[in-house]
Amino acid sequence: MIKGNNQFAEILKKYNYQLHSGDIVAGTITHNERIGFLVDIGTEKVGYLPKEELIIDFKNTLQDHLMLINTTRDFFLITENINTKQHILSIKRLDYIRAWKRIKQIYIEDIIFNLPIHQINKGGIITYLEGIQGFIPKSHIYCIKKHTIKSKILTINDNKNQLILSNKSAELATSLHKFKIGEIIYGKITMLKSYGLFIDLYGIKALLHVSEIGNINYKNKMLIKGKFMKVKIIHLNKKHGQVSVSIQQLKNITNHHQQLL
């Protein structure tokens, strides 16, 4: 291990220091074996680092393995081998713990990222944040660029290794200065559904629910894809990146003004 290792071992012995599963220990990788590495952690028995407990995406080549020799760093102590009395160590699990700590801090600070798109499937997009796999559901996607997607953390559960992100929430957060509840704005109809219309407002998809349309029929020339229409912003959901608008409330305002006149 590092210089003065014998002294370190004596200190451990003097204070009767016991290592336990879940501890984080310092050590130096000293030897490359067929399926793992020997690690000097200052105890009588050297620790053992299985190659599957290296960092994620570690390249399995002799050159990469040799580069690890004499590397000093922290390790996560998984357990003790009953037969050999060796402490089984991990780098991957320690990196995993530290990654989740950073993700929790990112969640608290509500940070927005441009994350690489790893895979697109029917359900949404798979990406990675701090080395942890994240998922953006299809219902939380506004727009996809060539290789990246603007994202913000929606929910986290480190016990279940679940990281759910939202592109909608990130896009709305960066455009929030353009929207204000009660504001009257023009938008373009982009989609017609049985439950309402979707309208593009500065690149953000807003929902005009049927209950906020009033007695205007869907066949009305006003409600055609590509047409511009005047709406009122009535709801902003920052967490889920949702904007709701109304034309019914616009008519109510007009009627009220007419009554005052």
**Where in the chain does DSSP place strands (E)?**
24-32, 36-40, 47-50, 72-80, 87-90, 112-120, 124-129, 132-137, 148-157, 162-166, 184-193, 196-201, 204-209, 228-237, 242-246
- What is 179-260's CATH number? 2.40.50.140
What residue spans in the chain does CATH classification 2.40.50.140 cover? 5-90, 111-173, 179-260
pLDDT attached to residue 60: 54
Torsion of CA 57, 22, 130, 243, to 10 degrees: 130
Q: Which two tokens stand for residue 115?
A: 């994350």
| CATH label, 5-90, candidates 3.40.430.10, 1.10.8.60, 3.30.300.30, 2.40.50.140 | 2.40.50.140
pLDDT per position as a tens digit, 3-57: 555 565 565 555 555 788 899 999 999 999 989 999 999 888 899 999 999 875 5
Model's pTM, two decimal places?
A: 0.72
Mean residue pLDDT of the chain comes to 84
pLDDT > 70 in the chain, percent: 82
The larger pLDDT score, comparing residue 6 to residue 125, is at 125
109 Cβ contact partners less than 8 Å away, ≥ 6 residues apart:
none
Q: What are phi and psi of 244, to 5 degrees?
A: -115, 140
The mean-pLDDT minimum among 35-44, 112-121, 157-166, 250-259 falls in: 250-259
Look at the block and give the residue holding tokens 């727009």. 143
The CATH superfamily assigned to 111-173 is Nucleic acid-binding proteins (2.40.50.140)
The mean-pLDDT minimum among 150-159, 184-193, 216-225, 240-249 falls in: 216-225
